[in-house]
Amino acid sequence: MKLLWPQALIALAALPILAALYLRRPVVRMPGIVAARPSHWRRHLPAALYAAALILAVLATARPTALITLPSASRTIILAIDVSLSMRASDVQPSRIAAAQAAAREFVRDPPGDVKIGIVSFAGTAALVQQPTRERDELIAAIDRLQLDRHTAIGSGIIVALAALYPKEGIDVESFGPGTRPRRSEARPAPPGSNANAAIILLTDGRRTIGPDPLEAARLAADHGVRVYTVGFGNAQGGPVAFEGYSIYMMFDEETLKSIAQLTNAEYFNATSGTELKKIYDSLTTKFALQREETELTAFFAAAAAALLVLGAGLSAAWFSRIL
């Protein structure tokens, strides 16, 4: 526990003075009530409750905070799934795209906390294929409908996902052509990763061939405080893809995915097998289901102090026909 205003603890120096006054306390009798003969512990319990109330009140004034794990509030997560032809590579079995779809289905079947999930697909362009929803059947159907296409516009995928999270902000995805830089909001940027109610999970092999710079798109997400968790499908050696009678070797761009995650204060995961995918999604589910936040406990301490004060006064009146 930390104190935002520790100098308030100086007030505890008054406790010995009040204890001395207690020993010479005036008696205030309530008319018409005969006091019972107090036992030794009863005689001092109200005063002890008052002292405890004073300590709690001073702690409340010092504004205590603690890092508390809380259930998630209502959140929105966008799964941005790469459907470029390179996702047919088989360095992740049975293929990168099949593994990505399987992982996405696993994630939406048991959404973490009170979460809405939307789905964006991207190849040469990006599109929101499923509005954020809690309907698992709709999400799974959208994942099953994904079709592969040419090129890989990772930056567009991130921008469309961000537009889905902020539909009223007017993020104009169509104006972002190849090689252009996404337009930043004129508002003051939020600290990277500070938005606890929205996130993007990017499932891709990380090899951009067209569209906006994915790192610039990541900076746009960072300006909104949105974390972009990246899940890379592939291994360092890459994998072959059959295309128009040729076998083309598709490399895996891991460094770009690490940079995207780092810029947005998120994490990068490498999916090289089904078993590892399950571990990754279990980890992501835990992160979204619970959050650790620095929470101010002033109200709790103040309420506890008031309760002890009322209890002490009530016992004093009931036992001694007086208020100490």
Q: What is the pLDDT of residues 160-218, one digit of tens each?
A: 999 999 988 888 666 665 555 555 555 678 899 888 888 999 999 888 888 889 999 99
Domains of the chain (ranges, CATH numbers): 2-68+295-320 (no CATH), 73-272 (3.40.50.410)
Work out the percent of the chain whose per-residue pLDDT is above 90: 30
Q: Which tokens in the block code for residue 14?
A: 């008054």
The reply to whether the predicted model has a pTM over 0.85 is no
pLDDT of residue 139: 95
Burial of 16 (0-12, 13-18, 19+ CB in 10 A): exposed
Helix H or strand E encompassing 247: strand 246-250
Q: How far apart are CA 198 and CA 196, in angstroms?
A: 6
Residue 80's Cβ-count burial label (10 Å; 0-12, 13-18, 19+) is: buried
C-alpha 250, offset from chain centre: 34
Q: Determine contact, residues 277/100, Cβ cutoff 8 Å.
A: no
Q: pLDDT tens-digit profile of 29-85?
A: 555 554 555 566 677 787 788 888 888 888 888 888 876 655 555 689 999 999 998
Angle between helices 96-109 and 274-289 (to 10 degrees): 40
The model's confidence at residue 288, banded by pLDDT at 50, 70 and 90, is low
Report DSSP letters for 87-129, one per residue: GG-SSSSS-HHHHHHHHHHHHHHS--SSEEEEEEEESSSEEEE
Of 295, 297, 305, 299, nearest to 11 by C-alpha is: 305
- 214-223 helix and 154-165 helix, angle to the nearest 10 degrees: 20
- Closest Cα partner for 12 from 47, 49, 53? 53
